[in-house]
Amino acid sequence: MKAVFLDAATLGEDVDLSPIENIAGGLTYHPRTNPEQVIQRIQGFDTVLVNKVVLNGEHFEACPELKTIAVVATGLNNIDLEAAKAHDIKVMNVTNYGRSTVAQHTMSLILALATRLLDYNRGARNGQWAKSDMFCLMDYPIMELEGKTLGIVGYGNIGMQLGVIAEGLGMKVQFFDVVNKLPLGNARQLGSLDSLLAQSDVVSLHVPETASTANMIGAAQLDRMPRGSILINASRGTVVAIDALAERLESGQLSGAAIDVFPVEPRSNDDEFVSPLRAFDQAILTPHIGGSTMEAQENIGMEVAEKLARYSDNGTTTSSVNFPEVALPEHAGCHRLLHIHRNVPGVMSAINQVFSDTGVNVSAQFLQTNEAIGYVVIDVDAEYSDVALRALADIDATIRSRVLF
């Protein structure tokens, strides 16, 4: 494996990347990479690590040796997944490094809004408390969370973790997901987003960035929420229509909102953070830090290294987001061949005919496909012929074939 990291500085100084260095046998670092530098910097490497750098078909066409892209974050909007798939490039991301971290951050935002923490902090500091006729300052109504209903949109790892935390505070938990999920604790699944919005005192969003989630919380959805309710978004910046949210904060339809991700975020020191939500004290804005505890940052290097190792060592692709998923056992005393092909009829028959014609014994075979690609892993006896390998590469629908070990 020969690996390069195009924007290592975007992870900060606390991330330990030595596990990746150990797996890759070294790692070339670039603190940041401008768009015009990408092709030059990835040429000659089979593995590229990125955080924010955009990679597309132009780059893949210029670098035929590229086999794997590891995104050291959860979001994948900077990678052209279809172009990567067309060039037989596996794309993986990190999804487990910050599950508890994001849930913790989300709950801290809920608590801060419910208790009006920032308002009372400001009141204690600016002399407002001293002017109160009471022993305490009670200018801002506080919501008690026990008995209130939390609605979670997207019941994945983070949503589940958040639900467990919320139940510990006495909240009722309900969720909406496009897939039927087995709930944890006493959480219950609702059949529609509209039902969840209408029945929740606090709504927290935990969905991926897709075409179907773009602006999924707009004016109509915000108006379905009970007056005085709270909205949290620590998922993706494109999920909430920010202007509509600002209008509902202005009107009092929502008593508060907390946003950690935004449609447009600063990319450099020269970019100003622009958002209409900056005008509202009842909006808590955090700079995309939901998954940024020291512990979570440390987990990134370990998770990326583990996923790279599984693919490079035995061909397992369960961590790939754009490739058929195959989980593979070890087979001692065998050679492992990988064959990636267009998903068209007759390919498997042609592959097996190759082995029959060349007298190579197949010990095990694993096939998985998606709508465009077939991925077959073949374990053969230790003695195999170069003729068979060349014949595999010559099958019409072949994209790439190689010996793994």
Residue 77 burial (10 A CB sphere; 0-12, 13-18, 19+): middle
Known active-site residue 288: yes
User: Of 167, 247, 265, 306, which is the active-site residue?
Assistant: 265
CA-CA distance, 51 to 19, in Å (whole number)? Answer: 17
- Tell how far CA 228 is from the center of its chain: 31
User: Of 59, 224, 236, 336, which is the active-site residue?
Assistant: 236
- Find all residues with CB under 8 Å of 348, minimum gap 6, and list them: 367, 374, 376
CA-CA distance, 266 to 271, in Å (whole number)? Answer: 5
- Tell how far CA 352 is from the center of its chain: 38
Taking CA atoms, 183 is separated from 149, 157, 190, 276, in Å, by 15, 11, 11, 36
Known active-site residue 272: no
- Choose among 175, 159, 244: nearest CA to 208: 159
Known active-site residue 167: no
DSSP 249: H
- What is the rounded (10 degree) CA torsion for 47, 53, 56, 58? -90
CA-CA distance, 68 to 47, in Å (whole number)? Answer: 5
The H or E element that residue 258 is part of is: strand 254-259
DSSP 116: T
Sheet with 68-71: list strands edge to edge: 28-29, 3-5, 47-50, 68-71, 90-93
User: Of 288, 342, 400, 402, which is the active-site residue?
Assistant: 288
CA-CA distance, 301 to 358, in Å (whole number)? Answer: 43
CA-CA distance, 314 to 343, in Å (whole number)? Answer: 22
Catalytically active residues are 236, 265, 288
